[in-house]
């Protein structure tokens, strides 16, 4: 198990008021993403536990594009990677950002 931490600056804080959101499932080829609104508004962190070593540069690129496109400032994403491919990672991150940006607070 390799752990990667990627810290990026987000131009805009995440919209909405939810404190946290979870998407995805832990399973082969998929992944679980936990999003928590716990950082300063201009920060975005991704903490990744991955079973596959050597994908650091790919994760960096996926994270960079994600933060550039959705700017989820103030949110920390914890990712439990089941060996998922980058396309699934990108979809799950976007889903987590969309969910935490919903208006109603998480119950």
Q: Please tell me whether residue 86 binds another protein under the rule CB under 8 A.
A: yes
Per-residue binder mask for another protein (CB under 8 A), 26-65, x = binder: ---x----------------------x--x-xx--xx---
Give the span between the Cα atoms of 2 and 19, in whole angstroms.
Answer: 27
For residue 49, the SS3 value is: strand
Q: Please tell me whether residue 103 binds another protein under the rule CB under 8 A.
A: no
CA distances, 38 to each of 35, 61, 81, 87 (Å):
9, 23, 21, 26
Q: Please tell me whether residue 83 binds another protein under the rule CB under 8 A.
A: yes
Q: Which residues bind another protein (CB under 8 A)?
A: 29, 52, 55, 57-58, 61-62, 83, 85-88, 90-91, 94-95, 98
């Amino acid at each position: 198990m390799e752990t990667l931490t990627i810290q990026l600056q987000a131009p805009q804080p995440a919209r909405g008021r939810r404190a946290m959101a979870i998407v995805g499932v832990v399973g082969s080829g998929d992944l679980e993403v936990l999003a928590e609104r716990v950082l300063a508004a201009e920060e975005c962190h991704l903490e990744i536990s991955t079973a596959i070593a050597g994908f650091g540069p790919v994760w960096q690129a996926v994270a960079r594009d994600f933060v550039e496109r959705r700017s989820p400032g103030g949110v920390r994403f914890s990712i439990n990677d089941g060996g998922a491919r980058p396309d699934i990672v990108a979809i799950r991150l976007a889903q987590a950002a969309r969910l935490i940006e919903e208006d109603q607070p998480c119950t």
